[in-house]
Amino acid sequence: MKSIGGLMFVLGLGSFLLHYLGMEFKLLMWIDNWGPSTGTAIRIGLVVVGAVLWLVAGRQEKAVAAE
């Protein structure tokens, strides 16, 4: 889960930054099909959900290692 969360975070943040430079990841080109505001919401959602997954999985990993 930690790697999936990290990937979502990096792709969301990268997509957010590249969008304002007029570029986009080919994998995430579908995001703007519903309009720019929905695309921005999806990007923010990717960043937030990815960060949460990454943090929670990291804490669980530490808890398992401590046992």
Residue-wise pLDDT tens digits, 18-58: 988 989 888 888 888 888 899 999 999 999 999 999 999 98
Q: Residue 23 belongs to what domain range?
A: 2-66
pLDDT at 52: 95
The whole-number pLDDT of residue 10 equals: 94
Where b means 16+ CB within 10 Å and e means fewer, 35-45 reads: eeeebbebbee
Answer whether 0.75 is exceeded by the pTM: yes
Among the listed ranges 13-17, 22-26, 43-47, 59-63, which one has the minimum average pLDDT value?
59-63
User: Is it the case that residue 67 has pLDDT exceeding 80?
Assistant: no
Total count of domains within the chain: 1
